[in-house]
Amino acid sequence: MKIKAIEFETAHEAMSHAAAEGGEAILINGKRMVVSEDTAGRLDQARVEFAYLCDHGGRIVTIPVND
């Protein structure tokens, strides 16, 4: 499966980009990426392991998918 994604150096950068431009900040294969909501859904349906990056009270946490 080919996905369209933008890679970022840090989780903060990915999350800021997703908040400003839309999309989902995820961690996949050790890389911090922003993908469209549709792409995140397709990754989930294809049973690809990844994690959503989320801000929880100023602390970055991951929510595993298909772990």
Task: Evaluate whether residue 54 is within a structural domain.
Answer: yes
Question: Which pLDDT band holds residue 21 (cuts at 50, 70, 90)?
Answer: very high
pLDDT at 67 over 90: no
Task: Evaluate whether residue 50 is within a structural domain.
Answer: yes
How do residues 38-66 score in pLDDT, each as one tens digit? 999 999 999 999 999 999 998 999 999 99
Range of the domain at 50: 6-65
Percent of the chain with pLDDT over 90: 91
- Are 59 and 43 in contact by the 8 Å Cβ rule? The answer is no
- Are 17 and 5 in contact by the 8 Å Cβ rule? The answer is no
Mean pLDDT of the chain: 94
Q: Residue 21 CB: number of other CB atoms within 10 A? A: 9
The total number of structural domains in the chain stands at 1
